[in-house]
Amino acid sequence: MQSNDLEFARGSNLQYRYFMITFKGFETAQKGQIADLLEEIYKTFYFKGNEFEDNKQYWKQLDARIFENLTRENDNGFVTYFNNELIGMCYWAKLNSENEIKLKDNGITEKFTGRGYGKMQIIEMIRRLQKKNCAKIYVTTGDNDFYKPAQNMYLSCGFIEIKREEKYGNKLIHYEKTLI
């Protein structure tokens, strides 16, 4: 796709000549869709033992929390649509400081990976957080092949690696991005 194919529409829409990516509030999804979306995003990841089932429980709890507190949670993330199909989400939480956040969940379904939509989500998140005078964003990703695209995406969006560690048998990479 050539750069002149990209047009910026009003608000949070990135519009291409033949399709549209939109970032919308969680209320545009139905209860249960966030959990299903996260399950779809991570279905190809290799989980050890009961980790997938444990994560499914977390995703269901997150879904319930989002829909119980839509006003607050819309301030902490959004869902992404390709035309009118739900394909991804971005969700963050404030840290101790009001102007620092931790990116908790960011992903695109397998059918739509490799097209730059995850990077568009990160750019949209950065745009929203800059409007709120957020100073720093932190994100952690795995240090394995499943997470290579995410690692490259974070680096290409200006995040810098700050630490590597092993925790609970998983190798992790921590990144940060300074906004102010």
What per-residue confidence (pLDDT) applies to 91?
96
Q: How many CB atoms lie within 10 A of CB 122?
A: 22
Residue ranges in the chain modelled with pLDDT below 50: 1-11, 15-17
What per-residue confidence (pLDDT) applies to 5?
30
User: What pTM was estimated for this model as a whole?
Assistant: 0.84
Copy the structure tokens of residue 132.
Answer: 């709120």
Q: How many helices (H) and strands (E) does the chain have?
A: 5, 9
Integer CA distances (angstroms), 132 to 56, 101, 179, in order: 31, 11, 11
Q: Which domains does the chain have, with CATH numbers?
A: 3-178 (3.40.630.30)
